[in-house]
Structure 1
Amino acid sequence: MSKQALPASPDLAGYTAVHGDIVALLEEARRAAARSVNALMTASYWEIGRRIVELEQGGKDRAEYGQALLKRLSADLSQRFGRGFSERNLEQMRLFYLAWTPAQISQTASAKSTPARISQTASGERALRAISETPSRHSIDITALAQAFPLPWSAYVRLLSVKNTAARRFYETEALRCGWSVRQLDRQVNSQFYERIALSHNKAAMLEKAETAQPGDAITPEQALKDPFVLEFLQLKDEYSESDLEDALIQHLADFLLELGDDFAFVGRQRRLRLDDSWFRVDLLFFHRRLRCLLVIDLKIGKFSHADAGQMHLYLNYAREHWMKPGENPPVGLVLCTSKGANEARYALDGLPNKVMAAEYQTVLPDAQLLEAELERSRRELEARRVGRGGDVGVGE
Structure 2
Amino acid sequence: MEERKVQLFEGKRIRTVWKEDEQEWYLSVVDVVEALTGTDDPRRYWSDLKRRLKAEGGQPYEKIVQLKLLADDGKMRLTDVVDAEHTLLIIQQIRSQKTEQFKQWLAQFSKRDISDNQIVKKEAFTHENGRNIRIRLNSDFDEMISIIDRARENTFRMVNRELINLYWNIGMYVSNKVKNGEWGKSVVKEFSEHIQVKRPEIKGFSPQNIWRMKQLYETYKDNEKLSSLLRELSWTLNTKILGCKTDEEREFYMQLAISNNYSSRELERQVESHMFERTLISGEINKPLVSKNTGLTIFRDGYVLDFLDLPERHSEKDIRKAIVANMRDFILELGTDFTFVGEEYRIRVGNTDFYIDLLFYNRRLSCLVAVELKITDFKPEHMGQLEFYLEALDRKVKKPDENPSVGLIICAGKDEAVVEYSLSRSMSPALVAAYQLCLPDKSLLENRLRELRDLRGLEEQDGDDIG
Range of TM-score over shorter length: 0.3 to 0.5
TM-score normalized by the length of structure 2: 0.32
TM-score normalized by the length of structure 1: 0.37
Give the strand-richer structure, 1 or 2.
2
